[in-house]
A and B are shown apart, each in its own frame.
Chain A
Amino acid sequence: MSAGHRAGRGAGHRAGPSAGHRAGRGAGHRAGPSASDGAAHTATVTNVVLAGLGGQGVIKASDILADAALRAGLDVKKSEVHGMSQRGGSVTSDVRFGTAVLSPMVPFGEADYLVVLGSSEVEVTRPLLRPGGVLFAPDLIPDADLPNKRSLNVALLGALSYHLELPVEAMLEAVKAALPAKLHAVNDAAFELGRKLAAAQGTIR
């Protein structure tokens, strides 16, 4: 993991990506899929894999992300396996969105973004990421800065949101819709924290 793209850091950047920021991050770090990824239709699909252990909020986070894509008017599919894995085992959830999504599963090694909620799961899931894909590991968010330990998933979604084409409003609405009102303030803060850290770091490898 590196924090190489500090050039874009600064108070003016806290609101997230703009055309200027994208330029600042450099073409090599353009995170979204490009036409060179393969067949023409996949070029319009963004692949996100969320991973962690049962109980860490992986499913909730992927529900929020998928709902944000729905709110943004995109086609979206989300897939994970429930059941035995709920008992503290490894969980991954795939979210794919774009103009038209076919398979509900992110092909192996083709994730554009990998969001990992449990540090033990980082190395296990890293092969899911495509070359040049972006990893969001839990140590991106310092424990001490997190308003609530349970909001790590939303903080990492905040970080992810900095890189996505999805309108940030859709993400925030989806966070609110998924959580009870008493948790809204805490999770808004967590989301903003993650988004700021992502902006500060540029791209995390």
Chain B
Amino acid sequence: MERQLLSGDEAVALAALHAGVALGTGYPGTPSTEILESFDALGGRAQWAPNEKVALEVGLGAAFGGARAIVTMKHVGLNVAADSLFTAAYTGVSGALVVVTADDPGMSSSQNEQDNRRYAVAAGLPMVEPSDSQEAHDFFLTAIEISERWHMPVLFRMTTRVCHSKSIVMSEGHAAAGSPRSPHFEHDINGRVMIPANARPAHRRLRAKLAEIAAWGEDSALNRVVPGDPGLGVVADGVAYLHAAESAPGASFLKIGLVNPLPIGKARAFAAAHTRTVVVEEGDPVIADSLLAAGIAVESKPEMYRFGELDVSRVRRILARDISPEPAAGRGKPPELCPACPYHTVYATLKKHHCIAAGDIGCYTLGVLPPYQAMDTCVAMGASIGVGLGLRHVLPDEEARRVVSIIGDSTFVHSGISGLVEMAYNPPPTGHVVIVLDNGTTAMTGQQEHPGTGRTLDHGPTNKLSIEGIATAIGIQSVTVIDAYAEPERFEQLLLERLAASELSVIVARRPCILAAADIRRWEGQAAALRAQAAEQAAFDLPLEER
């Protein structure tokens, strides 16, 4: 039995390895990023997809083929993948598909704190939720079992604290979820092709499976009762359970590990056995509302605790029904662009010329903070281009000509390309200027590769997407690549010229991220060596007379 100190992310990766997961895919997003990186480091097959929707589809295909697959993303990533997810609930899978959604209550590094437990209800998918790293490991294996037993995708919900906290994991070091089957394809047109005639029975099948899982969940070890004081019962999930267990050491607990479908019968019996039953959950009152709707007498937390993370102090307040104002947390130093970040020039120029900047998601969002404050909108991955176009369409001419869209290289590949297609298709009368900040990496989440870097998750060489090539192919009239950091005056001149022209422009401001530059040089060196080796081998393989 191995005893290790692992983060929740690392524990999931270890479990994926133990379960014989054939393929891991996803898009980087705090706090989920380290799952695939760890899976790769452990020897698993892991790859970054251009976005979460594609990742989910690749995982689904693998599971259609009978394999076990894991797909990872942060909470907002599931919005991107939702289109395929909802219908994957109908098609089901042949192998196993576990989709990790890593929520960020408190928004340590996110644009919203949506509660993805709602997605499980909306899509009609089972959702498993661990509280710490040991459970992240063990419950992942259970999620694989559920997926294979009921032939359907399973959502695995984590939160920032569970992903990033380290705790002790004891593991057997081998598959506890049985051996994976050998992948092979079986035709199942009625089950897999969701035309209405097939989807109607598929929906009924889905609901029947959920009813079975609900019955199974009543006795599952995922939902555990810890008996204690009959005066106080606490229903809790995720890390909130640990805060609650510490806050009220004498209380009884119903610890929920299967968040959907909820063990309604177990909860009803639990509430009936206690004078007072309180639901302690982070985020939305998802469990409380469901139990109340089922006519179970539980107490939901006061509304003020919907916001932000919970901790021991806040749970004590919830249990004491304390709604007095909370002490304000001390504010430390906010993050900022690195001193040698190649984007400084761009933001200084935008500020100088009073540009209206539709921004996007990444390190460069920090351009919104002092000293530049040179970003006016930031909504979602890829939103900068559409939002910039909308502004251009309606603003008076003088203002419209100052609108630019700012998007990073990884974000551009993720979901900026379709914005650029819209720009070519419905050009505003004043044209538009898109600045792609290309630092050659997915910097914010910790320097992951993407299709534009020409390297895979493990930094090995692969095909390289050309941002300027795509822009040209889409039909953008003016496409310029420039190192704005090295040539600030030329960048300023170029920007002013493109803002004045009533044309469509893409400016690719290209210079490697200062944090990644040394690594990028090393990986490029390794790639060059591999190419040289391959060329030598190819020459050797030729018949003598052709060498």
Give A residues with C-beta under 8 Å from B: 39-42, 53-54, 63, 66-67, 70, 75-90, 92, 101-105, 107-109, 120-121, 124-125, 127
Contacts and interface: CB of A to CB of B under 8 A. Distances in A.
A80 B243 CA distance: 15
B338 A88 contact: yes
Nearest to B245: A102
B187 interface: no
30 contacts: A66-B5, A70-B5, A70-B168, A76-B166, A77-B165, A77-B166, A79-B165, A81-B108, A81-B109, A81-B160, A81-B164, A82-B30, A82-B108, A82-B109, A82-B446, A84-B30, A84-B108, A87-B337, A87-B366, A89-B334, A90-B334, A101-B167, A102-B242, A103-B311, A103-B312, A109-B313, A120-B333, A121-B333, A124-B331, A124-B332
B469 interface: no
A80 B249 contact: no
Give 6 nearest A-B pairs by CB, closest first. Answer: A90-B332, A83-B109, A89-B335, A87-B335, A104-B165, A83-B30
B167 A89 contact: no
A88 B327 contact: no
Interface of B: 3, 5, 30-31, 108-109, 132, 160-161, 164-168, 239, 242-243, 245-246, 249, 311-313, 327, 329-338, 363, 366, 444-446
Contacts of B444: 83-84
Contact of B161 (A86, A104, A108, A121): A104
A130 to B, nearest CB: 12
A137 to B, nearest CB: 15
Given A42-B246, A103-B239, A78 B166 contact: yes
Contacts of B5: 66-67, 70, 76, 78
A192 to B, nearest CB: 25
Contact of B335 (A78, A88, A104, A109): A88
B236 to A, nearest CB: 12
B335 A86 contact: yes
Nearest to B241: A102
Given A76-B5, A89-B336, A125-B330, A82 B164 contact: yes
Contacts of A105: 161, 165, 243, 311-312
Contacts of B242: 102-104
Contact of A84 (B109, B164, B167, B168): B109
Contact of A78 (B108, B165, B243, B363): B165
A36 B338 CA distance: 45
Contact of A107 (B313, B331, B366): B313
A81 B161 CA distance: 7
A45 B104 CA distance: 27
Nearest to A78: B166
Contacts of A84: 30, 108-109, 335, 366, 444
B332 A121 contact: yes
A82 B110 CA distance: 11
B168 A75 contact: yes
Given A41-B246, A108-B329, 4 more contacts: A77-B165, A81-B164, A83-B31, A104-B132
Nearest to A126: B330
A32 to B, nearest CB: 18
Contacts of A127: 330
Contact of A88 (B167, B329, B330, B336): B336
A104 B166 CA distance: 8
A44 to B, nearest CB: 12
A105 B242 CA distance: 10
A83 B108 contact: yes
A101 B366 CA distance: 36
A153 B444 CA distance: 25
Nearest to B5: A70
